Structure 1
Amino acid sequence: MSKDQVNVLNALDSAQTQWYHFTAIIISGMGFFTDAYDLFCISLVTKLLGRIYYHVEGSPKPGSLPPNVSSAVNGVAFCGTLSGQLFFGWLGDKLGRKKVYGLTLVLMVVCSIASGLSFGHEPKAVMGTLCFFRFWLGFGIGGDYPLSATIMSEYANKRTRGAFIAAVFAMQGFGILGGGIFAIIISSIFEARFKAPPYAVDPVGFTVPQADYVWRIILMFGALPAALTYYWRLKMPETARYTALVAKDLNQAASDMSKVLHVDIEAEPKQAEKISQEKGKEYGLFSNEFRRRHGLHLLGTAITWFLLDIAFYSQNLFQKDIFSAIGWIPPAKTMSAIGEVFKIARAQTLIALCSTVPGYWFTVALIDTMGRFVIQLMGFFFMTVFMFALAIPYHYWIQKAHLIGFVVLYSLTFFFANFGPNATTFVVPAEIFPARFRSTCHGISAAAGKLGAMVGAFGFLYLAQNKDKTKTDAGFPPGIGVKNSLIVLGVINCLGFLFTFLVPESKGKSLEEMSGENEDLQEEGSTSGVAKV
């Protein structure tokens, strides 16, 4: 710790783990629980939407969403998220973390409810309003990324900061799990209460009118955890680092943190003078000085997040083939519409329990021991290995006799994504940039990730297309499209491994040490004649 470190920041860095740390994790983490629930619950009900609104009377098959509608319903929230990450990231540095933090929750609550109330009788009207509200839902979700990460990093002590930030992000796993469990409960209730008669053999008979309530309830439930957290977000004080280093009000920062830490912290006059003299002499975002100090760091955090999300979201799209092949999701014509929601939710819940959630919490447990750099390298390395192990002998794995091995390797790619770059790409941008740029730079990095998610979603669908519609005995597409897709994903993970070397290790260091703000204070003190404290 620099001897010039401001007292209040020194107190935060050296503070013992206290109840306020866990309170901050819960308050920030519930936002991420809601984010994950809202983003991923749409995949549980897209098939139901097709059966309700796009079934053709007299058709022997259940309806399905047209490709363009399906892409819009699934992808519009990503577009909103990307926009929200950039806008709220910038706004969080301009106005303060706390002033903006509640606004993101308001957007999520209102738009979650509005998504479920999507109005109209014609399919175009329902899908149009659904896409409109999901864009703005994504906009609010996007704001939660930089703000939650920045707030948690600025509240935490330096010994366990990585675990605290990773714990906030790990709530995403519980959000995915919670979405699956809630969909199982709702679909079970409706299936038992409004089950189609056993003699109904036409697909229309399997889609009872009450099925329209199922998807609406599932989407609207996402408003509840966000609403429950709103009051506590308003009660949080502004972070001391923003108040001291950006707003330049050292007395207010000391007062706020004295209440939080339950200790007396005084702002020394010499420290306050040094902070105030620095105002107006700082380099700007994307200035030559910023590029010299942090240009490669920002490139590293943005590119690694971009590459990760191409691979991560592409993997998610392939799940439906695996679920169908191992019998978790039978053919649609054998199930009622509500029963299909149950089967899809059950499959997602099993994957979350066995792979997604454990991966997140391995990162929480080990990030401050192993370090961010090692975990990210390890994650990209094993994701590369498993992708190539699936792709090169693809025709061997997709036979029914070897399907269990395929599923195990495929699940391990999810485990090492979460015990790896899916967590560290969220943590590192909240630690290595100066306080006045921290939220903006995290928003830029996160937006690059969402751009990767969109590239992955549409790119994978294009690469995996195959004109030969026959299936192997395991139910997988036999052609070269999926195999080539897995090879491409392996190459992308390998590139992520290489670009990780642009990202510095922040384990055990203060935020000011990582960002160079300690050195800036020393230079200001030496040039102005202010004594060291």
Structure 2
Amino acid sequence: MAGELGVLNALDVAKTQLYHFTTIVIAGMGFFTDAYDLFCISLVTKLLGRIYYTVPNAPKPGTLPPNVQAAVTGVALCGTLAGQLFFGWLGDKLGRKKVYGLTLIVMVICSVASGLSFGSDAKSVMISLCFFRFWLGFGIGGDYPLSATIMSEYANKKTRGAFIAAVFAMQGFGILAGGIVALIVSSAFDHKYKVPSYKENPEASLVLPAFDYVWRIILMFGALPAGLTYYWRMKMPETARYTALVAKNAKQAASDMSKVLNVELEAEEEKVKTITESDKNTFGLFSKEFAKRHGLHLVGTCATWFLLDIAFYSQNLFQKDIFSAIGWIPPAQEMNAIHEVYKIARAQTLIALCSTVPGYWFTVVLIDYMGRFAIQMMGFFFMTVFMFALAIPYDHWSKKDNRIGFVVMYSLTFFFANFGPNATTFVVPAEIFPARLRSTCHGISAAAGKAGAIVGAFGFLYAAQSKDPSKTDKGYPTGIGIKNSLIMLGVINFAGMLFTLLVPESKGKSLEELSGENEGDGDGAEAIEGVGSARTVPV
């Protein structure tokens, strides 16, 4: 049985040691870069509108047309979806390590290229930017299934959830870093070029060529952390579960893990051959056997991630519009272009520092005590509650005296997204599927999430465009669009609670117990039933 393979059992019972933390850092820096690259675009879209779409002597500064903003914001998500499917499949075909470095190379090149986007007019610059951000997203997409799978296959079963969640928690630091970099860059330029607000002097507020460097520097900075981790990724050995159960090389698996764990491990070649050649351990993704054993699990991981990302990405990418709508960020004409970047970055950094980052680490600390199911259900529940609490009395929150209360409650939705489904939807698909399909299934689940992110990015953008005719001179979305969007997000989060019932609890079990690979020539049904019965709330 796979659960009795010495090399895999050694990994399952290993005490927490240096290689665990090394793997967290190596894989986590990829997610730091992913989050930075995906979310830093929201910091500079208003600046892009000012630079490339302001009409001379207009009463207010220019903004990106809705179709251009949708493309600039959402094209990286489209690339990410494609990358998750492609690299997830490739990780099961060629091995985790062989593909892992390739994703970083793509990210580094495309981060730099995004900042170097060229063209002689607004249209050509935006097309160039969208092209490079699509391929940047493609590289980012590969990081999701590979990082999750590598961490799950290296971890011990007692603290596996915390280790995988810690990798994903680096996303919070990436979002925070995006805000900090934007604050530093915008402050430096604002200090050097004393520029009046648009209302005071429209021409002087806008035309400085130096402003074009601000968004380019912010985007290119994402190449730095990715480049720094490439060497260490290439030094990692292939995971023992891939080497033994997929590549069927017991000797290499034992050799690699002997070095990692500093113990002598036996190469159990006959046992590996028996396991990997069992009829119950050779079924494919599109087989009836997979549908029977893991079909509902895959539906559950895909649906919950899809619904979560509609809410999570729309909140992150368009929080600047919400803050403008409630007046927390002044109207554009009352600021110069660089000061607007500073204000948006300050708001995003505050939200990340006070709610996003703490939410991730609450999950890291508690996931192996509370379990994945309980945390995911709790997160969706509180996100639903806070969304409706913001949406139904929206007129109350939009009043000037109540804006701080709005920001606090809005921040709590981020906290419970991250101390909830945003972390667990990443963790569970890396645990419950067979080794030969693990990266593929995680990629499919993650791609479903990015499909939700695309719906959130494009859908929320147009929903928030509704204007109150009496406020057309203000230049920001009104409560008409924001309120309806918040109600819709509340409904989506409630649906996430329902689909969570399809997701099994994976706390405290080995990967082979969860996937049924320890059943040998048995029918494997008992393992799957056992997984379902471990759920906190019975279905």
TMscore range, shorter length: over 0.9
TM-score, normalization: structure 1? 0.93
CA distance in 1, matches of 2:261, 2:46: 50
Shift of 1:459: 2.1
Aligned position for 1:9: 8
Aligned position for 2:155: 156
Alpha-carbon spacing, 1:475–1:369, altered in 2? closer, same or farther (3 Å): farther
Q: Is the 8 A contact 2:326 2:399 kept in 1?
A: no
Q: Is the 8 A contact 2:85 2:440 kept in 1?
A: yes
CA distance in 2, matches of 1:387, 1:200: 35
Shift of 1:415: 0.6
Alpha-carbon spacing, 1:198–1:274, altered in 2? closer, same or farther (3 Å): closer
Aligned position for 1:512: 512
Aligned position for 1:115: 114
Shift of 1:486: 1.9
CA distance in 1, matches of 2:448, 2:197: 50
Alpha-carbon spacing, 1:422–1:136, altered in 2? closer, same or farther (3 Å): same
User: Can you list the C-alpha shifts for 1:380-418, whole angstroms capped at 9, x where unaligned?
Assistant: 111111112222222222222333322222111111000
Alpha-carbon spacing, 1:463–1:324, altered in 2? closer, same or farther (3 Å): closer
For residue 128 of structure 1, give the secondary structure of its aligned residue in structure 2: helix
Aligned position for 1:291: 291
CA distance in 2, matches of 1:198, 1:370: 51
For residue 4 of structure 2, give the secondary structure of its aligned residue in structure 1: coil
Aligned position for 1:251: 251
Alpha-carbon spacing, 1:462–1:188, altered in 2? closer, same or farther (3 Å): closer
CA distance in 1, matches of 2:173, 2:259: 31
Shift of 1:322: 4.1
Aligned position for 1:264: 264
How many residues get paired? 522
User: Can you list the C-alpha shifts for 1:439-480, whole angstroms capped at 9, x where unaligned?
Assistant: 0000000010111111122222333343424469x9996654
CA distance in 2, matches of 1:139, 1:447: 11
TM-score, normalization: structure 2? 0.92
CA distance in 2, matches of 1:56, 1:219: 25
CA distance in 2, matches of 1:365, 1:101: 27
User: Can you list the C-alpha shifts for 1:144-184, whole angstroms capped at 9, x where unaligned?
Assistant: 00000000000000000000000000000000101111111
Aligned position for 2:343: 343
CA distance in 1, matches of 2:301, 2:362: 21
CA distance in 1, matches of 2:136, 2:225: 14
For residue 483 of structure 1, give the secondary structure of its aligned residue in structure 2: helix
Q: Is the 8 A contact 1:82 1:450 kept in 2?
A: yes
User: Can you list the C-alpha shifts for 1:10-36, whole angstroms capped at 9, x where unaligned?
Assistant: 000000001000000000000000000
- Tell me whether 182-191 or 14-23 shows the greater mean CA deviation: 182-191
Aligned position for 1:324: 324
CA distance in 1, matches of 2:406, 2:309: 22
User: Can you list the C-alpha shifts for 1:281-336, whole angstroms capped at 9, x where unaligned?
Assistant: 61111200000000000000000000111122232355224433665422222222
Matched residue type, 2:485: S
Aligned position for 1:528: none
CA distance in 2, matches of 1:259, 1:428: 28
Aligned position for 2:28: 29
Matched residue type, 1:320: K
CA distance in 1, matches of 2:478, 2:327: 18
Aligned position for 1:529: none
Aligned position for 1:362: 362
Aligned position for 1:352: 352
Matched residue type, 1:244: A
Matched residue type, 1:300: G
Q: Give yes or no for the alignment of 1:68 onto 2:67.
A: yes
Matched residue type, 1:97: R
For residue 159 of structure 1, give the secondary structure of its aligned residue in structure 2: coil
Q: Is the 8 A contact 1:191 1:338 kept in 2?
A: yes
Q: Is the 8 A contact 1:376 1:424 kept in 2?
A: yes
Q: Give yes or no for the alignment of 1:443 onto 2:447.
A: no
For residue 248 of structure 1, give the secondary structure of its aligned residue in structure 2: coil
Q: Is the 8 A contact 1:373 1:504 kept in 2?
A: yes
Shift of 1:191: 1.4
Q: Is the 8 A contact 1:471 1:477 kept in 2?
A: no
In the TM superposition, 1:170-185 aligns within 5 A as 170-185=169-184
Matched residue type, 2:363: T
CA distance in 1, matches of 2:127, 2:477: 32
CA distance in 1, matches of 2:330, 2:276: 66
CA distance in 2, matches of 1:13, 1:451: 34
In the TM superposition, 1:75-114 aligns within 5 A as 75-114=74-113
Alpha-carbon spacing, 1:199–1:455, altered in 2? closer, same or farther (3 Å): closer
Alpha-carbon spacing, 1:479–1:217, altered in 2? closer, same or farther (3 Å): closer
Alpha-carbon spacing, 1:334–1:96, altered in 2? closer, same or farther (3 Å): same
Aligned position for 1:136: 135
Q: Unaligned 5+ residue runs, structure 2? A: 525-539
Alpha-carbon spacing, 1:483–1:506, altered in 2? closer, same or farther (3 Å): same
Shift of 1:54: 1.3
CA distance in 1, matches of 2:327, 2:476: 12
CA distance in 2, matches of 1:397, 1:503: 36
Alpha-carbon spacing, 1:335–1:54, altered in 2? closer, same or farther (3 Å): same
User: Can you list the C-alpha shifts for 1:214-238, whole angstroms capped at 9, x where unaligned?
Assistant: 1111111100100000000000000
User: Can you list the C-alpha shifts for 1:59-107, whole angstroms capped at 9, x where unaligned?
Assistant: 2321211111111110100000000000000000000000000000000
CA distance in 2, matches of 1:498, 1:311: 16
Q: Is the 8 A contact 1:248 1:275 kept in 2?
A: no
Matched residue type, 1:188: S
- Tell me whether 219-228 or 57-66 shows the greater mean CA deviation: 57-66
Alpha-carbon spacing, 1:339–1:478, altered in 2? closer, same or farther (3 Å): closer
Alpha-carbon spacing, 1:335–1:351, altered in 2? closer, same or farther (3 Å): same
Alpha-carbon spacing, 1:247–1:48, altered in 2? closer, same or farther (3 Å): same
For residue 16 of structure 2, give the secondary structure of its aligned residue in structure 1: coil
Q: Give yes or no for the alignment of 1:403 onto 2:403.
A: yes
Q: Is the 8 A contact 1:322 1:407 kept in 2?
A: no
CA distance in 2, matches of 1:75, 1:269: 48
CA distance in 2, matches of 1:471, 1:107: 44
Aligned position for 1:527: none
Q: Give yes or no for the alignment of 1:413 onto 2:413.
A: yes
Matched residue type, 2:499: F
For residue 503 of structure 1, give the secondary structure of its aligned residue in structure 2: coil
- Tell me whether 484-493 or 421-430 shows the greater mean CA deviation: 484-493
CA distance in 2, matches of 1:199, 1:78: 33
Aligned position for 2:432: 432
Alpha-carbon spacing, 1:510–1:380, altered in 2? closer, same or farther (3 Å): same
CA distance in 1, matches of 2:502, 2:522: 27
Aligned position for 2:533: none
Matched residue type, 2:455: V
Q: Unaligned 5+ residue runs, structure 1? A: 525-533
Shift of 1:365: 0.5
Q: Is the 8 A contact 2:379 2:417 kept in 1?
A: yes
For residue 504 of structure 1, give the secondary structure of its aligned residue in structure 2: coil
Aligned position for 1:274: 274
